[in-house]
Amino acid sequence: MNIEKLRVAIKGAVIPAGDPAWESSADELLWNGRKAPVRPALIVRAAGVGDVIAAVRFAALEGIRISPRGGGHNLSGIARQEGMVLDLGALNHVRIDASARIAEVGPAVTNGELAEALEAQGLAFPVGHCATVPMSGYLLGGGVGWNSGNWGFGIANVESIDVVLADGVVRRASAAENPDIFWAARGAGPEFFGVVVGYRLRLQPLPRAISTVVRVYPLAEVGQVTTWMKAAMEVVPSHVEFTAAIQSAPGSGGAVKVIAAVATVFADDPAEASRLHVEIAALAPTDALVVEDEMPTPFAVLYDIIGQFFPVGHRYAVDSAWSADGSDAYITGLADGIATAPSATSFALAVVFPPNRPRPPEAAFSIHAPVWGCIYTVWEDAGDDAANLAWLRRTADAVEAQVQGHYVGEADLERPERRRACHTPEVLLRLQAMQKTFDPQGIFSRPLPKASFGLDAA
Ligand SMILES: Cc1cc2nc3c(=O)[nH]c(=O)nc-3n(C[C@H](O)[C@H](O)[C@H](O)COP(=O)(O)OP(=O)(O)OC[C@H]3O[C@@H](n4cnc5c(N)ncnc54)[C@H](O)[C@@H]3O)c2cc1C
């Protein structure tokens, strides 16, 4: 591999294995404190789109695989592959045209940065639930964001993308231009066959009165709480986001488990927000352990709250699922799992969507259902990897009968079968055919993992 040739061609950094900066740079690629064992031969930090083009052409010439890295937030560590990892962290421009309600953003712009920039102009976007996740992989996977029950998933609000394909040429893809590439980029996740270097996003007016009420119940009441949440979502408008958080009671060290029903209203005026919270409360089981009264939760506050659940540097694994959950068995199954979690900081979330939730556009994002659940396994000690991963798999398997499919952004991609279960068979076939057309050398292909790395160590 002629690294010097690449160094001359790009403005950003080129860090081959063996370089003194390689070890720490390879670890920094992944947000998770638990690092996937796959080691890149080469890390390229793109300074701009020109570098992306040069890196892709170099990879094609040398016949090495290239893995774009947005923010390394996929907890399976899939962004770190053998061959070249192309770090897009510097592609972080935000340009907002408030009158046209359009934002042009680089892939590295995070949810928190975008929400803040838009808020200053009275605008919003269905940004994801965690501030530090970038648009890059978030939108490529689908983008299940705040107020998605009303605004739709992130991809429903994408006007166009700019993408560098394996031939090293930038193309725009939208409903009108290269529609097949546009179709794929909205949901393919790791099955995508190019590098997204820019998104053009349609914006929403900023809800001026976002507020949240939390009611906490003993875990044993999961059935009543779930029934209430669903009944509430039948009657309130779709700009209510209602989430069950199944977790350890604060300060209990894991000895006490609870289910918290978290209702966030994305309203325009405070009176409407309060009225909706009253409507929701009217149906609630009456024996809550704790009621946190209505609090204003603009995006910055929502991100502060969520951030407490995801301490930086901890070890993580996650699995996600879409469930129709007609029988409540899915959320009850998550609760059964949390009751036996080896780590007190592990938790599960289940968002109950409104019955009239907007349907996603015709795109590679092909599986969704009324309930979106995630099992977050969070621990600190590498010696506990095997126990925590085994628990995650047991819990996910126990609810599998209630699952329609998995969400690629938060699926347990260390399980080879999960990658396939994130798309319908028809979509997977179409993506595979497109990979052959647009990336005949397979430079963007990501081999399925042989087995989960945490369990290998056990
Ligand atoms: C704490 C936390 C909270 C989360 N909350 C949500 C949530 O609320 N909603 C939600 O939908 N998701 C959520 N996610 C999941 C997250 O959106 C995905 O994991 C997403 O892939 C992260 O983006 P990334 O750019 O960091 O991806 P990376 O880890 O960098 O990459 C993931 C995959 O996408 C590919 N990829 C990334 N960027 C590009 C690009 N520009 N072009 C081509 N391929 C690319 C990579 O090669 C890799 O295969 C959350 C994740 C975490 C860690």
Q: How far is the CA of 173 from the centre of ligand 1 (A)?
A: 20
Contact 236, 290 (CB under 8 A): no
User: What's the CATH number where 38 sits?
Assistant: 3.30.43.10
Residue 446 lies in a domain: no
Q: How far is the CA of 69 from the centre of ligand 1 (A)?
A: 9
Q: Are residues 15 and 110 in the same domain?
A: no
Residue 430 lies in a domain: no
Closest CA to ligand 1's atom 41? 196
Q: Are residues 52 and 178 in the same domain?
A: no
Residue 151 lies in a domain: yes
- Amino acid type, 292: E
Residue 456 lies in a domain: no
Total of domains in the chain = 3
Could you give the CA distance from residue 175 to residue 445 in angstroms, rounded to a whole number? 25
Q: Are residues 101 and 62 in the same domain?
A: no
Closest CA to ligand 1's atom 4? 130
Could you give the CA distance from residue 140 to residue 199 in angstroms, rounded to a whole number? 10
Task: Write down which residue in 71, 89, 107 finishes a domain.
Answer: 89
Query: Closest Cα partner for 153 from 179, 128, 182?
Result: 128
Q: Are residues 59 and 186 in the same domain?
A: no
- 358 Cβ contact list (under 8 Å, min separation 6): 148, 149, 150, 151, 152, 153, 156, 238
Q: How far is the CA of 271 from the centre of ligand 1 (A)?
A: 36
Q: Are residues 192 and 143 in the same domain?
A: yes
Going residue by residue through the chain (458 aa), what tens digit of pLDDT does each one get? 889 999 999 999 999 999 999 999 999 999 999 998 889 999 999 999 999 999 999 999 999 999 999 999 999 999 999 999 999 999 999 999 999 999 999 999 999 999 999 999 999 999 999 999 999 999 999 999 999 999 999 999 999 999 999 999 999 999 999 999 999 999 999 999 999 999 999 999 999 999 999 999 999 999 999 999 999 999 999 999 999 999 999 999 999 999 999 999 999 999 999 999 999 999 999 999 999 999 999 999 999 999 999 999 999 999 999 999 666 899 999 999 999 999 999 999 999 999 998 999 999 999 999 999 999 999 999 999 999 999 999 999 999 999 999 999 999 999 989 999 999 999 999 999 999 999 999 999 998 877 677 775 44
Q: How far is the CA of 231 from the centre of ligand 1 (A)?
A: 32
Q: How far is the CA of 268 from the centre of ligand 1 (A)?
A: 30
Phi-psi region of 233 (alpha: psi -120 to 50; beta: other; left: phi over 0): alpha
Residue 39 lies in a domain: yes
Could you give the CA distance from residue 219 to residue 206 in angstroms, rounded to a whole number? 35
Residue 380 lies in a domain: yes
User: What's the CATH number where 339 sits?
Assistant: 3.40.462.20
Which residue segment(s) compose the domain that 32 sits in? 3-89
Residues touching ligand 1 (Cβ under 6 Å) are 31, 67-75, 78-79, 88, 107, 128-130, 133-134, 136-138, 140-141, 143-145, 189-190, 192, 195-196, 310, 409-410, 446
User: What's the CATH number where 151 sits?
Assistant: 3.30.465.10
Q: What is the dihedral of CA 408, 238, 243, 321, to 10 degrees?
A: -20
Q: Are residues 247 and 387 in the same domain?
A: yes
Single pTM value for the model = 0.97
Q: How far is the CA of 138 from the centre of ligand 1 (A)?
A: 4
Q: How far is the CA of 409 from the centre of ligand 1 (A)?
A: 6
Atom of ligand 1 nearest to the CA of 108: 25
What pLDDT score does 76 carry? 96
Closest CA to ligand 1's atom 45? 68
Q: Are residues 334 and 369 in the same domain?
A: yes
Atom of ligand 1 nearest to the CA of 70: 25
Could you give the CA distance from residue 329 to residue 177 in angstroms, rounded to a whole number? 44
Q: Are residues 199 and 216 in the same domain?
A: no
Q: Are residues 408 and 268 in the same domain?
A: yes
The interaxial angle of helices 222-235 and 329-339, nearest 10 deg, is: 140
Q: Are residues 248 and 382 in the same domain?
A: yes
Contact 379, 388 (CB under 8 A): yes
What pLDDT score does 326 carry? 64
Residue 244 lies in a domain: yes
Closest CA to ligand 1's atom 28? 72
Q: Are residues 394 and 270 in the same domain?
A: yes
Task: Write down which residue in 61, 89, 117 finishes a domain.
Answer: 89
Mutate to test the pocket of ligand 1, among 49, 138, 349 (most ligand atoms within 8 A of CB): 138
Q: Are residues 246 and 197 in the same domain?
A: no
